[in-house]
Structure 1
């Protein structure tokens, strides 16, 4: 599911979101958004791992997944390192992770903002589209 798929889900649930009890519905929407974020992060890490594995950078797939997660989150333990000819990929994975973390954080904030605005709008009798 892409960002547009999640946005379509928000559009379909507009009326449901706006009805009381607001706190419970807000919590459900945020939980759904966080699950979506976790899924997108996982997909991104696995794509990097598949890339490292396909390029035969590491001996095993588990090592490729582990390195991808450590690089993507910019944790950088340093216990697994790239060979010299592939070391630029580690920086690209880290930069990609930073950008995706920022984008997905913005998406969570936008989901919260939209949900709260929609809840206040219906309570006040104001119709507001997404």
Structure 2
């Protein structure tokens, strides 16, 4: 049990660190786009910022699922890598189909993957909303 909790915590920590580092990268891109984004017309430019934020969010979700899948595969939890990816996606998004289950000795990881998914969805949604709010505010008041 302790092994599962430690491994699950490390995987969650890794996904959060990856999201934070990549957020820093996205923020650098948005800062470079700032002079362009605040000039009229605002609508199309807001769509570009939204698209970048959505693609970044999707990328972070995908990366997190892959981290879980690679961990499950490295632990030989499933017989195929496809099963590891599928289970990671279903657990991370909290769909919980139940057609593929973790062996008893690894079942705590399923709950941890789901908790990680909930955490990441909340975190990335907040970052995306803040990005759009900040861009819109700067469009209305473009002072440096």
TM interval, shorter chain, is over 0.9
Q: How many residues align?
A: 124
CA distance in 1, matches of 2:24, 2:119: 18
Counterpart selection for 2:70 from 50, 61, 66: 50
Q: Is 1:11 aligned to 2:34, yes or no? A: no
Distance 2:34 2:52 in 1: 14
Over aligned residues, Cα RMSD in angstroms? 0.9
- Pairing 1:105-124 to 2, within 5 Å after superposition: 105-122=125-142
Looking at structure 1, the residues matched to 88 and 40 of structure 2 have their Cα atoms a distance apart, in angstroms, of 42
Alpha-carbon distance in structure 1 between the residues aligned to 2:50 and 2:63: 20
What's the CA shift for 1:116? 0.3
TM alignment of 1:30-49, pairs within 5 A: 30-49=50-69
Gaps of 5+ in 1: none
Structure with larger Rg: 1
For the residues of structure 1 that align with 2:65 and 2:95, how far apart are their CA atoms? 13
Question: Which of structure 1's runs of 4+ aligned residues deviate more than 2 A?
Answer: none
- 1:64 maps to 84
Which structure shows the higher helix fraction? 2
**Unpaired segments of 5 or more residues in structure 2?**
1-20
Structure 1 position 50, deviation (Å): 0.3
Measured in 2, the distance between the counterparts of 1:50 and 1:68 equals 9
